[in-house]
Amino acid sequence: MHELTWGMPVIAYLFMAGLGAGALTTSASVLLRGGQSGKYFSIARYGAFIAPIPVALGSALLVFELGSFQAGHWFRFLNLYTVINLSPMSIGTWLLTIFLGISVLYAFTFLSKDACPGDKQDGLRRLAAWVGIPLGIGVAIYTGVLLGAMPARPFWNSPVLAMLFFLSALSTGVASIILVRALLHRKHASAQAEAHYHESGYILSATDTLLIGLELLAIFLFLMYAHLTIGSVREAATVILAGGELSVLFWFWVVVLGLLVPGIIELAILVPSIVYHRAYRSHRVIEILVPVVVLVGGFMLRYVVVIAGQITHPIGL
């Protein structure tokens, strides 16, 4: 029986922080690249409203894990603000705090029902977007760096882990926007408005398919790095290979269900538009189920990585 120091609160934090960071990065990027035309403004709006919620909830779980909700220690987490250095915890604390402030401000600029490109909040919205992109990228990468900074856990000591978590954060952020759009969508009376909905859906699906492909590549590089490294790192990676304790969780829930299945479905829907230049159309059921399995896969990735790092240990050369 393995003794686990980090459990569900930390796993959920890593997942939700990545999701929120991915949603903000996606939203701000879309706004600055094409949202001003109004065609993709709704994507930016959904992403803006999603972004701060999971990060706030995840940060609260992390505070809970630090013991700040124990009797007599309600404000223990404030000690993190008393020290400013280059440690992962200190950097993460300030990064998350600034992220929450900017993401809430950014969401505020979309709050009005009449929010649109060029409105009175446009300048503030664009400024928050410019600041939000590097913040979102920073938070997404930080979730991987936090684990990689622990040399005593060889499974986490891979230079690819931060990139894998970053790509997964972007993918889950895009998936969350697709899911919320599908759940809240009501068919427009205007044919043009409906066409804009499907056109923006094409951008999101194409982006998610690309990110899934890059995630699969990152997983391949992660395994290759472990295989080509001697000693503890190579031995630790066997926990997710055939016969390992977490192999089924990793290959079925992360690779097959979380990446291959949604990637193949999205690619099948995109091919007619890419190859034959047909109008993109996706069914509502697919727009709900595909992002759900992407989110499940993103969560299971964090679960497997966090648990694997704790049940393996250095064994020497």
Give the C-alpha separation, 283 to 207, whole Å. Answer: 18
Give 65's Cβ-side CA count (13 Å radius): 17
Give yes or no for residue 268 having a pLDDT over 80. Answer: yes
Average pLDDT, integer, range 161-175: 96
Give 12's Cβ-side CA count (13 Å radius): 14
Express as a percent the part of the chain with pLDDT over 70.
87
Give yes or no for residue 35 having a pLDDT over 80. Answer: no
pLDDT at 86: 66
Average pLDDT, integer, range 300-312: 93
Closest CA to 104 of 48, 43, 61: 48
More confident: 37 or 8: 8
Give yes or no for residue 189 having a pLDDT over 60. Answer: no
Using pLDDT thresholds of 50, 70 and 90, give the confidence band for residue 209. Answer: very high
Average pLDDT, integer, range 157-185: 94
Give yes or no for residue 37 having a pLDDT over 70. Answer: no
pLDDT at 81: 61
Indicate the number of domains in the chain: 1
Q: Is residue 65 part of a domain?
A: yes
CATH code of the domain containing 113: 1.20.1630.10
Contacts of 102 (CB under 8 A, 6+ apart): 128, 131, 132, 135
- The range of the structural domain enclosing residue 231 comes to 8-311
Give the C-alpha separation, 238 to 223, whole Å. Answer: 10
Give yes or no for residue 72 having a pLDDT over 70. Answer: no
Q: Is residue 2 part of a domain?
A: no
Which SS3 state, helix, strand or coil, does residue 246 take?
coil
List the single range of 45-59, 68-82, 125-139, 200-214 with lowest mean pLDDT: 68-82
Using pLDDT thresholds of 50, 70 and 90, give the confidence band for residue 283. Answer: confident
Give 31's Cβ-side CA count (13 Å radius): 32
Give the C-alpha separation, 202 to 207, whole Å. Answer: 8
Q: What is the pTM of this model?
A: 0.91
pLDDT at 298: 97
Average pLDDT, integer, range 160-169: 95
More confident: 279 or 203: 203
Q: Is residue 317 part of a domain?
A: no
Q: Is residue 203 part of a domain?
A: yes
Q: Is residue 1 part of a domain?
A: no
Do residues 139 and 13 lie in contact, with contact meaning Cβ atoms separated by under 8 Å? no
